[in-house]
Chains A and B, each alone.
Chain A
Amino acid sequence: MERTPLDKHNSFRQNDQTSTSSSAHDGHSRHCSDYETNDSSGRAQIANEVDQFLDVLSAIDDKSSGLAEVPDIVPAFAKVIESEIIMYNSGEANRKFGKVAEEDSFFMESVRRISKLTNALSEFSSNTNASLLNHTSAALQRAMAFLEDEFRVLLDGNDHCDGEVSSQNLKKFLSFNSKHDQPDRSAVQRDSDPGDLDEYPPYPAETVARMHEIAKTMILAGYETECYQVYFFSRRNAIRNKMIKMEFDVILNMDEVVKMSWEQLEIEISRWINVVRTCSEIIFPGEKRLAESVFAESPLTRNNLLSNIVRIVVIQLLDFAEATAMAKRSAEKLFKYLDMYEALQNLIPAIDGESCPSEVMSEVAAAVDRIGESVVSIFCDLENSIKSDTARTPVPGGAVHPLTRYVMNYLKYASEYKDTLEKVFGKQTELAKKYIPSVSDKLSAQELEKESESPHNFETMVSTTPFSIQVVTVMDLLDVNLDKKSKLYKDPSLRCLFLMNNGRYILQKAKGSPEIRQVMGDTWCRRRSTVVRLYHKNYQRETWNRVLHCLSHDGLLTNGKVNKPLLKERFKIFNTTFDEIHRTQSTWVVSDEQLQSELRISISAVVIPAYRAFVGRFRQYLDPGKQVDKYVKYQPEDIEGLIEGLFEGNTSSMSRRKT
């Protein structure tokens, strides 16, 4: 026997091929030329003979002894395969792999046959069939290296399909193993419609079918690891390229992210969210579909591959999420963080399944928690910023405080993330309860007890959810703060007006947002209305009771006679009081139109009838002419007009005063 040194390099193709086959197998050259025909009967004959030999091999029990008869068919068959590869590699466009379906199906079948043959021969102890095994294993290795390259080309070349592969060819290609593949084929066709080239991953159905054939053959031949490696690297790079297309090519170091300005980070977060969404909606489902088609028969390989691909992508995405969670927190970041939270939450179902390694899952969950923690602490910052807003200058005219506007708008937008926030806060409470069992008792006990003490929520709320507790807390803090701010006004009427204004604003905002309304409940809304009305009443009492007091008839009549000096005094007091009120209160602000008109109506309703009655009753006692003009400064109609001018926030209203 000749000794054939192994090549030093990885060169099994074209050139070196001839040296192995021609020099080593002189004895079989006759057969080789015999079998080296492309006609189908010759091929069928070879296949038959090889199968018979395989049967013979499997029938031998004692694998330690050699074979009695070594048929020529084995080297000849190996030669056929090698010449197929030569043909494929010849460079002629129409002879390439994938062009002629019959050729391909014959080749693939032969490769499977030779892998069986190699495996069978390997069972025997060495030196008995060494030369046979050398033939088959070398041909197999060559075929596998060839298929590996083809597999890689198919995987890497997105534009590989060149229209020449007609659907008829595709069917023929698929049919070469139709006996076994019926279910898979339909799966392949269903999953990748040839029309959808834009789909991810962008392989036409025939390419996927070819990949499937190659993968199946390689795995059958025991070349699973090679197949795995090619697929893994190719898909990994493809995902990377996809991300580069999405401008996610610049990998950010955590160090950089933590130091980034918010403007910059905001852009990065949006980009990241985009990528995460693409992953959960397109990339991962697409990868799953592709792997299911290509590795239809090998669930283990498939799951391994998928889990590694998912892992490598997800972990990179999580790095950014983690770094972001470490960045400085502030109130305006809340919404971006919530978007991140949601994006990560949606990633979970996309990677969930048997192919997802549990540790990746738990890392995603941990990242979700961390973002959640950031959200909670941002919310906590909102509380702090309410508490720390201790400006000493009151808002002019008792108008709605900017803090109220800010907090309510913040809550309004936050409540649009209500479901997410419920989850976030629920999770925190859950953690607290889980780790300190006593906390849960304490919490619920506190809830019941303390709710009754809360100024605006003294009735137990209908449903207490974690988020509603947060919102109530913020509202309470706001109330406490507003209460303090109201004390900055020396005029008790203005204090009431300020509280009324802000209370009204809060109520309107809450009513205007279905989510807040739902969170706070109808009882709360009613309660708040009551409180606003209460301020209204207080205001009215504080301001207008004085006026009504001058208009009371008490003490004016002594023994049925009108006390004229007192009457004049009353008119005088009324005029000055009313002027004073009008002067100051037309500079006050009620920006809510409804509240403004409610106020005016209620003032008119109290003041005008009283004045009308007073004037009507006592005007006669004044001397007509000069005296009436002097003391009855306003006609009741004038009063109505002046009341209409209140709460305009108009600092120049004094000049517009009617006479």
Chain B
Amino acid sequence: MPATDFQESSSSPSSFGFSILSRRRDQVHSMESTHEATSQEIELEAFQRQVAERFQDLAAADSHELLSIPWIRKLLDTFLCCQEEFKVIVMNNKSKLNRPPMERHISDFFERSVKALDVCNAIRDGIEQIRQWQKQLEIVLCALGNQRSIGEGQFRRAKKALVDLAIAMLDEKDSNTTLAHRNRSFGRHNAQREQRSFGHFRSLSWSVSRSWSAARQLQAISSNLVAPRGNEIISTNGLNVAVFTMNYVLLFVMWALVAAIPCQDRGLQTHFYMTRQFLWAAPILSLHERILEEVKKRDRRNSCGLLKEIYDIEKCARHMNELTDSIHFPLTDEKEREVKQRVEEVRRVYVAIRDGLDPLERQMKRRKMIWATVLGIKRVKSLNLLDGPSYLLKKLQFSPYQKKNIEQLKGIDTIIAKSKQAKNPTTAQRVNTPGALERPRLAEDLSSVYNPSLMQMLGAAKRASNFILFKDLWPPNSLKSKGK
């Protein structure tokens, strides 16, 4: 039971390397404002525990559940929750994150997040791909599913859909191994009709360039990802542990997505930095191992994705194919029963994909949470100029006008921070309710506020020419040379 697992671990925080180190730090720097240090510490430790608990929950999945659409959704949920909590930490520690060495860690995280966005985009194409396969199953169901009696033509229709499905899936596998130029312009003569129908299924990548490679991207995300050393942890008050944790979670989630869902140049050889130092390391590494085992299984080795539902598609399509090949008319009662049985199998797979894919895709869209965090971090930087106390108090006597404006600009950050506090129970409460995955929906709320209205076109051309004029004035230094 996962529940007992993490109750045990949360009740024994001494097993947790980070907290030991931070305690040691407290002993060294006892002159520091102890109260603040501990509240930050509680926050950081809670974060570690949250991440560990969530991944323990994921790792508790049995072999049927692992890599299924529901599991992937849970994985994304986990990721988004970790992300949210990380964001709170970022918000609470803006000033510290703005100074070296944290500044560098944060900008590393920013770069990794952007790389992860590209992975998400490629995965989105993969989901689109599965959707097309689902359509072929739909045809099979249309042909064989609803009639009282089935004629030869209907079997042919199903067969054709299965052939198309096989081509599409094969094509996807091809695209995984080779990045060959995809010929999109098939002729339109009858002789090439066969080929043209193949071409139609070819997966055009809409979201990443043709030379993009998921394997390389994962490598890039994983490069230089090593656990912080003890002295670094002390000098950053443990903040770099949080950043490292988030980086690691990001890497693992992206890796698992690439493992499960078809995407361009899949490759799972990414090196995972082995660490046992953190609570969450064990569940993540065990998942990593289990997924690698899946890859090695003989019937999955050439698969275009480890997603359980893809395997189901392959399996039911194979069964259906075998069945249609063995059909003779008139159908015997036994065959008819078998047909019904196989159709049901296809239907089950179809329904599972249909019901799973939409919410999954919606979740992928919430990857924009990554973006929000990224932006949050960027804002930490720009806001520094505004609300850094030295700036505010010394450099300028702000007119009330300017102060108000800063309030406005800071508004969004405050909102995020405040509604976060309002919506999320405190970390302490959350620890007591393991498994309760509340997902803050702030980003969605923010986007749903907007009510688009028509906007009239403006004199864009005019402005374009103005802009050229304006550019002549840029940079302002060039102005200094001559007054007029």
Contact = CB atoms under 8 A, between A and B. Distances in A.
19 contacts: A2-B329, A3-B329, A118-B151, A122-B147, A126-B150, A137-B151, A141-B160, A149-B197, A250-B209, A258-B114, A322-B368, A335-B470, A390-B395, A402-B476, A403-B476, A406-B473, A432-B415, A436-B414, A480-B397
A222 B142 contact: yes
B386 A419 contact: no
B39 interface: no
Interface stretch (A181-189, A420-428, A556-564, A565-573): A420-428
Nearest to B414: A436
Interface of B: 114-115, 117-118, 121, 124, 128, 132, 135, 138-139, 142, 147-157, 159-160, 163-164, 184, 188, 190, 193-194, 196-197, 200-201, 204-210, 212, 217, 324-325, 327-331, 336, 362, 365, 368, 371, 374-375, 378-379, 382, 385-386, 391, 395-397, 399-405, 407-409, 411-412, 414-415, 418-419, 446-450, 452, 454-460, 462-463, 466-467, 470-471, 473-477, 479-480, 483-484
B155 to A, nearest CB: 5
B404 A359 contact: no
A361 B452 contact: yes
Contacts of B194: 10
A346 B208 CA distance: 25
Contacts of A339: 460, 463
A225 interface: yes
Contact of B483 (A127, A335, A399, A420): A399
Nearest to B475: A332
B193 A149 contact: yes
Interface string A342-384: 1001101100100000010111111011100100110011011
A470 to B, nearest CB: 7
A362 B153 contact: no
B463 A366 contact: no
A19 interface: no
B324 A6 contact: yes
B201 A233 contact: yes
| A-B residue pairs, 9 tightest by C-beta | A137-B153, A137-B151, A450-B400, A126-B149, A133-B151, A432-B411, A141-B153, A366-B447, A402-B479
Interface centre among B184, B205, B483 (most CB of A within 10 A): B483
Given A118-B153, A252-B209, A342-B460, A145 B118 contact: no
A447 B135 contact: no
Given A254-B114, A345-B455, A359-B362, A417 B382 contact: no
Given A4-B328, A431-B449, 11 more contacts: A3-B329, A10-B163, A124-B149, A125-B148, A127-B330, A129-B149, A137-B150, A251-B205, A366-B450, A387-B391, A406-B473
B212 A253 contact: yes
A532 interface: no
Interface in A418-462: 419-420, 423, 427-432, 434-436, 439, 442-443, 446-447, 449-451, 453-455, 457
Contacts of B149: 121-122, 124-130, 133
A114 to B, nearest CB: 10
A327 B460 CA distance: 23
A403 to B, nearest CB: 7
A234 interface: yes
A56 interface: no
A123 interface: yes
Nearest to A393: B480
Interface stretch (A34-42, A103-111, A201-209, A236-244): A236-244
A595 interface: no
A480 B399 contact: yes
A340 B56 CA distance: 44
Contact of B156 (A12, A236, A342, A434): A12
B153 A589 contact: no
B120 to A, nearest CB: 9
A226 interface: yes
B150 A122 contact: yes
A525 to B, nearest CB: 18
A414 B429 CA distance: 49
Contact of A342 (B325, B418, B455, B466): B455
Contact of B386 (A145, A368, A384, A470): A384
Contacts of B330: 1, 3, 126-127, 130-131
A176 interface: no
Q: Is the interface of B mostly helix, strand, loop or mixed?
A: helix
A125 B452 CA distance: 55
A326 B374 contact: yes
A416 interface: yes
A192 B1 CA distance: 65
A416 to B, nearest CB: 5
Contact of A447 (B164, B404, B459): B404
Nearest to A376: B409
Contact of B209 (A12, A140, A251, A454): A251
B160 to A, nearest CB: 5
Contacts of A427: 450
Contact of A91 (B190, B459, B470): B190
A6 B155 contact: yes
Contact of A446 (B331, B404, B470): B404
Given A253-B118, A399-B483, A416-B466, A130 B375 contact: no
B128 A312 contact: yes
Contacts of A226: 139
A118 B148 CA distance: 12
Nearest to A316: B206
A395 B484 CA distance: 12
A405 interface: yes
A614 interface: no
B483 A6 contact: no
A52 interface: no
B471 A253 contact: no
B200 A326 contact: no
B376 to A, nearest CB: 11
A519 B41 CA distance: 50
Contacts of A430: 449
A229 B135 contact: yes
A145 B160 contact: yes
Contacts of A453: 399-400
A134 B153 contact: yes
Interface string A391-417: 000010101101101100110010011
B452 A255 contact: no
A157 interface: yes
Contacts of A156: 188, 196
A365 B447 contact: yes
A380 B382 contact: yes
B130 to A, nearest CB: 14
A331 B110 CA distance: 22
A169 interface: no
Contact of A319 (B121, B404, B479): B121
A454 B399 contact: yes
A477 interface: yes
A528 interface: no
A141 B184 contact: no
Contact of A124 (B148, B467, B474): B148
A385 B329 CA distance: 83
